[in-house]
């Protein structure tokens, strides 16, 4: 009897609420690619810079997969308007930048650091 009550209590408290979590709503398929990179400094080991992007509701989340110090990050839309800008920030693996992006289909990211300059493009395609 006690185990039955315990099982019912656990299912009400843990199992049912986990199933009721709302799912992320994706409207677009997001593609991120690096257009150009300019190395300013020669390093002993090769430097690979990468980023990914994802869209949830009307927000674009850019996740960096590389590490850079003292970087300037600028995100512009297809009309050239600056959407987001961070100056003298440190990029670490897993750092995210969230951008409210309800309308534009193409975004350009310019990353300037003492080591490398990177230009990347993010495109949002209808699903």
Q: How far is CA 81 from the centre of its chain?
A: 19
**What pLDDT is recorded for position 74?**
92
SS3 95: coil
SS3 23: coil
**What pLDDT is recorded for position 119?**
92
CB under 8 Å to 122, separation ≥6 — which residues?
30, 31, 32, 53, 60, 62, 106, 107, 108, 109
pTM of the model: 0.69
SS3 4: helix
Distances (CA, A) of 55 to 31, 40, 67: 10, 32, 23
The CATH code for residues 24-126 is 2.60.40.10
**What pLDDT is recorded for position 47?**
72
What is the pLDDT tens value at each position of the chain, 127 positions in all?
Answer: 778 777 776 666 666 555 555 555 556 678 888 888 888 777 666 677 888 888 877 788 888 888 888 889 999 988 888 988 889 888 888 888 888 877 667 889 999 988 888 899 988 876 6
């Amino acid at each position: 009897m006690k185990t039955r009550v315990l099982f019912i209590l656990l299912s009400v408290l843990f199992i049912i609420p986990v199933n009721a979590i709302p799912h992320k709503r994706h409207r677009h398929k997001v593609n991120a690619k690096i257009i150009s990179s300019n190395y300013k400094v020669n390093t002993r080991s090769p430097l690979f810079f990468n980023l990914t992007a994802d869209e949830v509701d009307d927000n674009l989340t850019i996740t960096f997969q590389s590490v850079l110090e003292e970087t300037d990050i600028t995100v512009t839309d297809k009309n050239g308007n600056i959407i987001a800008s961070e100056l003298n920030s440190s990029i670490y693996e897993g750092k995210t930048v969230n951008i409210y992006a309800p309308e534009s289909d193409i975004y350009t990211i310019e990353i300037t650091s003492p080591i490398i300059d990177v230009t990347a493009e993010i495109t949002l395609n209808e699903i």
